[in-house]
Structure 1
């Protein structure tokens, strides 16, 4: 069982979806959590559900000033920052490269990539003052392969993957581990609008034949935050049902 007792973790985009499940997993493993989001009512509701071990802070991850406020609040409430889950992000919809506007591309990269950079830049000094820490950056299967109609999103998620490795190399001797998690198609409020169906056999594009569930991704996040992953840094963990491993095997009818 993942053990995070005595730790304090910041989870961005924690109001719902993968972020909320990550917060639940962290608290379930014994940690305290500060979850942040621009969705204020939902964020407060999730924090209330998690009880005394959770706090909520409204937060735009593209703002350095707001990141500083989150860090100060976390230290004031819980004394330290031991973990960070950079989960906040947007998909930006599906557009061919030549159809995606420059403004839309920049907005996606600002939230999905620059927000991750600012977050790490903010918490690293605090982790260095303590006993180190663990950072988990949520990328995507789109950060492991070329996925059509995701120019902004794909570029940002590849950037998260690369930034994770740079940080891991720089911070290893400071006892700060940095890893990325790459979910495949996972059922969340952000993906529900595309009409995916849950259940066995409902998503044949993956070898496992189904979409992922948010708690499955959250379990991987909690593992990487914990001492069970003490010698893992600079890694990318695909939680995608085998989607990025290769083409799904298609047997002929009756085969």
Structure 2
């Protein structure tokens, strides 16, 4: 029996969830607070399931899911399973791509290719699959996590800038294409160091020291998640397609 769209359970997919104190985990928790089922998707099943379990312990609905977002077959299988479950996919958050510095003249083509696959190609596969569902539903929200590198390159981050700047151009292009179909697409520039496990535990704690000595304190992950929820809540009367988030001390 086919269930009408209004009767289906609403769900959200957050791709790129790793540390329990990270953007992906914070966004998963925020959407679950509103009664939405959250697919907590990451490369490591144990980490994804730990975050999903914490959400369920707080009376939320979540499931841990493991996949490589750079693998088109694995991404396709995830969204096919959601379609077969007859759930209503209301939002997808793409939060993939770590910042790895390198010296340009010492960087191999293999390294550049790997960074491009992580920061951009994974977004291509995710968007191709979820947009098909959104078109069928005639509604949906797709949010991409960007970075300072989306707007400007800095020394030692040529490879990261390549992927993130391509992602920004791609996201804003999709936003123009699909807004008339009631599909909201947004790109979020995370400008500054994030106050999460990835930074704080980097280089045996030196990452946390670097964050604190910069004087910005870092971007609060729960505040970031609140802004993602705000984007999802927007109506077609007025949509934000790009949002720039930074600590108040961070320079423009």
TM-score (norm 1): 0.84
SS at match of 2:97: coil
How far, CA to CA, are the matches of 1:44 and 1:141 in structure 2?
Answer: 30
- Name the structure 2 match of 1:147: 154
User: Retained in 1: the 8 A contact 2:199–2:208?
Assistant: no
Deviation at 1:108, TM superposition (A): 1.0
User: Retained in 2: the 8 A contact 1:34–1:74?
Assistant: no
- 1:40 equivalenced with 2:51 (yes/no): no
- 1:238 equivalenced with 2:244 (yes/no): yes
Please give the residue correspondences for 1:40-79 in structure 2 after superposition, counting only pairs within 5 Å.
40-51=45-56, 53-77=61-85, 79=87
User: Retained in 2: the 8 A contact 1:186–1:212?
Assistant: yes
Please give the residue correspondences for 1:137-216 in structure 2 after superposition, counting only pairs within 5 Å.
137-183=144-190, 184-192=192-200, 193=202, 195-197=206-208, 202-204=213-215, 209-216=216-223
Q: 1:196-223 CA distances to partner (integer Å, 9 max, x unpaired)?
A: 448997423xxxx321121121111111
User: Retained in 2: the 8 A contact 1:35–1:47?
Assistant: yes
Question: Would you say how many aligned residue pairs link Structure 1 and Structure 2?
Answer: 235
How far, CA to CA, are the matches of 2:250 and 2:153 in structure 1?
Answer: 10
Match of 1:111 among 113, 118, 125: 118
1:244/1:117 CA distance change after superposition, 3 Å: farther
1:68/1:201 CA distance change after superposition, 3 Å: closer
> How large is the RMSD of aligned CA atoms in angstroms?
2.3
1:114/1:147 CA distance change after superposition, 3 Å: same
Alignment gaps of 5+ in structure 1: 1-5, 247-255
Q: 1:54-108 CA distances to partner (integer Å, 9 max, x unpaired)?
A: 11211111111111111122234461211110002222x2212112211111111
User: Retained in 1: the 8 A contact 2:195–2:217?
Assistant: no
TM-score (norm 2): 0.85
SS at match of 1:95: coil
SS at match of 2:143: strand
1:230/1:152 CA distance change after superposition, 3 Å: farther
Q: 1:124-170 CA distances to partner (integer Å, 9 max, x unpaired)?
A: 11011114111100011121222221111111111111111110011
